[in-house]
Amino acid sequence: MINFRRSAKGQFQDGNRFIEQVYTLKNRQMNYTIRSATENDFPAILGLIKELATFEKAPEKVTNTVEQMLMEKDLFGCYVAEWESGEIIGMALFFTAYFTWVGKSLYLDDIYVKEAYRKHKVGTALLSKVFEIARAEKCKRVRWQVLKWNQSAIEFYEKKGAFIDGEWLNCDYDEDGIRNYM
């Protein structure tokens, strides 16, 4: 597993091994396995990130690199969906966060499944893995974003019981904005 900040490291790792075994057995008939990402998966994960950015009409905004992911690997967790051929077909990348209103939370930065594999319940398996981690870590909230125009994703999340909040807007500063702030 890619290490990220957590409170009960040993217990969490044991839980992950158990959860991975369950998913491997459960999805064997589907020809894929959900497993912890390794550093060797970073090129494929970055490829999925770029594919997602293209889908979201913003490929030029991806500045991350495999080298950067290696340097920052302790800041995030990631699970991949691996097809029986060894191809990485999906991923869920997340990190722990602290929200003032509720406390410890898990932020799902990206969940993505290659289009050709979207009818195999891969997204459901990845999202279930994220919620398993949130429960094991005693998180009070799981949060992520979805683009307003991505109706198929919105329907998927609503079907899973997510509340889609249309009131809040993002406020971002990129690296130049951070450097040049005031």
State the Cα angle at 30 between 20 and 54, rounded to 5°: 85
State the Cα angle at 168 between 125 and 109, rounded to 5°: 30
Contacts of 42 (CB under 8 A, 6+ apart): 66, 69, 70
**Which position among 23, 32, 107, 157 bears the catalytic label?**
157
91 contacts 79 by C-beta, under 8 angstroms: yes
User: Catalytic residue at 107?
Assistant: no
> Which residues have a catalytic role annotated?
157
